[in-house]
């Protein structure tokens, strides 16, 4: 449990993402249900099990990951990082990894969309492995199908991410485009 309430861990545009403003339809009902159950089960999770949300753009991956984060952030230490942005900051020099390694829950948004190199893979391995060994759960979102993680992220990252988390696929329309009537 938190002793001191931190500043909101989510960027302003993602703070409003909740389960109540997520439209549930047959194509996303299962991921929605598993994410709400994950919040319920979170206090008892011991193994560091997290979630992997995949699917096409605009199907609600970031929304659902942030709904989990928003539901837990009052009681737990939650951190959020957009992977390409995180790696860009890390390239810039000194970077405090501790919050990402130690938070009770970390959201790694958009894994796979970073510019890939041995350096980025190594940085991501440090975070993923560092959290695994301390049984700290992570929620990943990605546009890549889990079957392609190996190719996109490399065997070592793919094995750790897929071996410790429940994978969920978001189907349905691109809600971004729908909003503007496309
Ligand atoms: N089921 C839904 N109900 C209500 N709003 C939704 C739903 N799915 C997505 N949205 C909204 O659509 C927008 C895009 O959703 P989101 O950012 O979660 O997409 P994404 O799957 O992460 O896409 P990308 O792969 O491009 O990152 C957001 O404003 C989000 O709130
Ligand atoms: Mg997203």
| Domains annotated on the chain, with CATH | 17-179 (3.40.50.300)
Calculate how far, in angstroms, residue 56's C-alpha sits from the geometric centre of ligand 1. Answer: 10
**pLDDT tens column, 16-73:** 999 999 999 999 999 999 999 999 999 999 889 999 999 999 999 999 999 999 999 9
Please state whether the predicted TM-score (pTM) of the whole model is above 0.85: yes
> Mean pLDDT in the chain?
95
Q: Which residue CA neighbors atom 19 of ligand 1 most closely? A: 58
Is 61 touching ligand 1 by the criterion CB < 6 Å?
Answer: yes
Q: Which ligand sits nearest to residue 59's alpha carbon? A: 1
Q: Which residue CA neighbors atom 5 of ligand 1 most closely? A: 22
Q: SS3 string of the chain?
A: CCCCCCCCCCCHHHCCCCCCCCCCCCCCHHHHHHHHHHHHHHHHCCCCCEEEEEECCCCCHHHHHHHHHHHHCCCCCEEEEEHHHHHHHHHCCCCCCHHHHHCCEEEEECCCCCCCCHHHHHHHHHHHHHHHHCCCCEEEEECCCHHHHHHHHCHHHHHHHHHHEEEEEECCCCHHHHHCCC
């Amino acid at each position: 449990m938190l002793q001191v309430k931190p500043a909101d861990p989510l960027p302003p545009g993602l703070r409003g993402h909740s389960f109540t403003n997520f439209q549930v339809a047959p194509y996303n009902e299962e991921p929605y249900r598993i994410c709400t159950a994950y919040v319920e089960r979170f206090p008892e999770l011991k193994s560091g099990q997290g979630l992997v949300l995949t699917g096409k753009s605009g199907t609600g991956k970031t929304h659902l990951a942030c709904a989990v984060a928003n539901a837990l952030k009052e009681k737990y230490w939650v951190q959020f990082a957009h992977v390409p942005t995180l790696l860009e900051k890390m390239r810039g020099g000194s970077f405090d990894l501790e919050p990402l390694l130690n938070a009770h829950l970390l959201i790694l948004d958009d894994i796979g969309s970073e510019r890939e190199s041995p350096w980025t893979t190594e940085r991501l391995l440090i975070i993923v492995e560092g959290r695994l060994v301390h049984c700290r759960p992570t929620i990943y979102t990605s546009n890549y199908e889990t079957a392609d993680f190996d190719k996109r992220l490399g065997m070592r990252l793919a094995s750790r991410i897929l071996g410790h988390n429940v994978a969920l696929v978001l189907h349905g329309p691109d809600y971004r485009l729908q909003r503007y009537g496309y």
